[in-house]
Structure 1
């Protein structure tokens, strides 16, 4: 029984040297014992003793038993977040699951056992079960809504990041494509963390990768988990993993801004936060070949060490290098008339060192608008040999004075984009990543990650 197990380990926590009947331990170091943890063990034991006493009576108060089991589960989850001994933590994980099983069993008994205290008690449990089913259905609807529907191509639409793509290919693509190769000691990496400055393409990379893999992708943010189901975050997390685990094919779960839900644990954090973290840790441990968990963060140093340890690959997604920046320029200026020499491109690439992919996209958008701004201000126009109308200087041969609004919309064209347009745009579109931020990422990568 859970009571017996809890009693045994509560005694273990109080004893400096213990030997169990199963010889699990030879010695036990009590130098680090936390009194607050001992109190939780005591309270958990007390709750389970009450459950035992209730079942010894001829009349069973089902409602009270349910309340005690729910409270006991909460205590066991709290102990998991506080306990520092790995063995005891695992025991408490098992305790949590056994308490969940007992709650389900109790509800089933309410339907089958006619010797329960009263019909009203059975009806109450039936209503409670119906309510739980409806909540579960609602949560599954939320999960189904997070399934990513590709609206773009695969990895070819993501500029640069060749090394990051290579690492993801090894960690995710190969295990899914050739599962028989990953046997014995060769295990697939089912938990991957992508980290790096904002705007480097972490989310876009995961979305594009799901297209390449041709597997379902359930993309959620911390806001989806924290605000959609206030007070039931841990249930939604559990349901998310169980739902994808029940699917016939492999699935990818992507949690963006994961640092918001797995920050470093403190003694002052709320009970809801502790339960949420406990549930996510539990589900991460259960990830297998059926589920690939991919997470992204801009602040990897804020993640609790217990979570960080569970990510088998921690991949740094850096700022685009010169070659990558050139590729971004080519992709986002495709279909636009440019007038830049090789030296112009060289200067532009040098001046955009330190820009993120998102910074570059904003810069390009602003630069491409410069010819449009000139057209709005233009007062003189000339008609080309192809019948197109372009803005020109007032002394240009054949110039006609007019405003943009008075010209036929299907004949007006903008001038080519030049280096000057990009330099003008740079005065208002700056890099958003500081040198200090980059130093923090480099320091973190040296300790915990690998560069993509």
Structure 2
């Protein structure tokens, strides 16, 4: 009887766990559909504003971007199981997107058939609100003023950039970006990074060669605008991005989660817009997002509204870069690629694994770390050290060398305050043997197995 009860309880627990996993997956699909709905809405609202201003080329680009987002969103299937009344939202969002799709195609057709100088084109319809608004006449002599690409408080259109409040706000946001995340001249070069020849080659083809030979990299050869560098921590992902900015002579925007978050409602979206605006002004530019999973992780049912809006705004701005002529590349780095939202993963077309250093790379790193340091190590000692540091990351090797370097100082005890620097003995193989006892690899075999699995599923060849 006891055995039967235990088996029954185990079966119930298994069924409950499976049901909970199914509910979580369904809610995840619900949030993805909601995200695409909001993303399409934002793009179409921007397209309508550009259409009203008479900027047909930019309006067409945004209409097509919104259409592409709608196509993606309509491919998402959400099961009704476990959603209850929330499933009504699914039907409403899909109905919205189907209606927007029809009206966008209609408007694109109208704009394509009209000549560039035609003045009799029908006034645009606000596809999102479905209200036809007459176009207010604008004097031909007055140039179109750039406007903030967001919405003001309450959803109203933001004031024109020429007005004083908008100028002050734009200046403040510009100062935030320039003061916190802008690095114009990174000092790292390719030669400063040991190994990673495949990753360097991919970056060369994606950024540097297209800048040098724009005539060759067109059409199907046009370079990707999104790149993901992923792998165990401490192996040079950030250094690679900085070296790329140096080699390409590009402005380098070094972004982290703290750079784009704010306690003020709507501030994060404005910072994202200003980031991409500054990148366009200072192109060629590289936007590097360190720990990208902390900003653009997978959308979920319990996610905060501010986080969801930031992701939506970032995806809209990124689509603008991908569909435009700006020389802007977005590079993300993460130790947790599994946590990225699928919409983000799709936009980061190149996904390059930065692995643990191989023996040749470890040898080069040790040579670099020990250059200029007093050390008595034979070639055989170095080879034994290379073999002993299997599965050590680049940062682990640096920590190992620092620990070995401090041992001769530690041996002096109280006498360290009076001993001349040239009397301290150099490091030797024994110091590294001692250091190996306290500095261990920071990445487990299980973590490496997860990276290998993700690479087989989503990675691209470098």
Question: Which residue in the other structure is 1:114 paired with?
Answer: none
Alignment partners' CA distance in 2, 1:188 and 1:29: 27
Question: Which residue in the other structure is 1:160 paired with?
Answer: 195
Contact 2:357 2:394 (C-alpha < 8 Å) held by counterparts? yes
Residues 33-432 of structure 1 aligned to structure 2 (within 5 Å): 36=86, 39=89, 130-145=164-179, 146-150=181-185, 152-227=187-262, 231-247=266-282, 249-288=283-322, 289-376=326-413, 403-407=415-419, 409=420, 412-432=422-442
1:143 is paired with a residue whose SS is helix
- TM-score scaled to structure 2, two decimals? 0.66
Contact 1:217 1:252 (C-alpha < 8 Å) held by counterparts? yes
Q: For the structure 1 residues 318 and 142, does the alpha-carbon distance in structure 2 shift closer, same or farther, using more than 3 Å as the test?
A: same
Matched, 1:443 2:453: yes
Alignment partners' CA distance in 1, 2:267 and 2:457: 35
Alignment partners' CA distance in 1, 2:187 and 2:281: 27
Contact 1:83 1:89 (C-alpha < 8 Å) held by counterparts? no
State the shift of 1:97 in Å. 10
Alignment partners' CA distance in 2, 1:351 and 1:170: 35
1:189 is paired with a residue whose SS is coil
Q: For the structure 1 residues 153 and 204, does the alpha-carbon distance in structure 2 shift closer, same or farther, using more than 3 Å as the test?
A: closer
Alignment partners' CA distance in 1, 2:435 and 2:100: 59
State the shift of 1:449 in Å. 0.7
State the shift of 1:148 in Å. 1.1
Which stretch of structure 1 is more off in the superposition, 313-322 or 225-234? Answer: 225-234
Q: For the structure 1 residues 97 and 142, does the alpha-carbon distance in structure 2 shift closer, same or farther, using more than 3 Å as the test?
A: farther
Per-residue CA distance 1:367-426 (angstroms, 9 max, x = gap): 11112222346xxxxxxxxxxxxxxxxxxxxxxxxx44445x46x432121111111112
Bigger radius of gyration, 1 or 2? 1
1:370 is paired with a residue whose SS is helix
- Number of positions where the alignment pairs a residue of Structure 1 with one of Structure 2: 345
State the shift of 1:98 in Å. 7.9
Q: For the structure 1 residues 431 and 306, does the alpha-carbon distance in structure 2 shift closer, same or farther, using more than 3 Å as the test?
A: same
Alignment partners' CA distance in 2, 1:230 and 1:430: 44
Q: For the structure 1 residues 150 and 428, does the alpha-carbon distance in structure 2 shift closer, same or farther, using more than 3 Å as the test?
A: farther
State the shift of 1:85 in Å. 7.6
1:179 is paired with a residue whose SS is coil
State the shift of 1:86 in Å. 12
Contact 1:261 1:277 (C-alpha < 8 Å) held by counterparts? yes
State the shift of 1:319 in Å. 0.7
Per-residue CA distance 1:36-62 (angstroms, 9 max, x = gap): 5865997xxxxxxxxxxxxxxxxxxxx
Question: Which residue in the other structure is 1:396 paired with?
Answer: none
1:450 is paired with a residue whose SS is coil
2:269 is paired with a residue whose SS is helix
- Runs of at least 5 residues in structure 1 that lack an aligned partner in the other structure: 7-23, 43-78, 109-124, 378-402
Alignment partners' CA distance in 2, 1:222 and 1:96: 34
State the shift of 1:87 in Å. 7.5
State the shift of 1:318 in Å. 0.7
Q: For the structure 1 residues 261 and 153, does the alpha-carbon distance in structure 2 shift closer, same or farther, using more than 3 Å as the test?
A: closer
Alignment partners' CA distance in 2, 1:216 and 1:422: 40
State the shift of 1:29 in Å. 10
State the shift of 1:447 in Å. 0.6
RMSD: 4.0
Q: For the structure 1 residues 406 and 240, does the alpha-carbon distance in structure 2 shift closer, same or farther, using more than 3 Å as the test?
A: closer
Alignment partners' CA distance in 1, 2:233 and 2:101: 39
Alignment partners' CA distance in 2, 1:135 and 1:229: 13
Contact 2:104 2:127 (C-alpha < 8 Å) held by counterparts? no
State the shift of 1:432 in Å. 0.5
- TM-score scaled to structure 1, two decimals? 0.67
Alignment partners' CA distance in 2, 1:315 and 1:96: 41
Alignment partners' CA distance in 2, 1:331 and 1:199: 16
Alignment partners' CA distance in 1, 2:451 and 2:215: 36
Alignment partners' CA distance in 2, 1:236 and 1:350: 47
Alignment partners' CA distance in 2, 1:160 and 1:86: 53
Q: For the structure 1 residues 85 and 353, does the alpha-carbon distance in structure 2 shift closer, same or farther, using more than 3 Å as the test?
A: farther
Which of residues 428, 438, 443 is equivalent to 1:433? 443
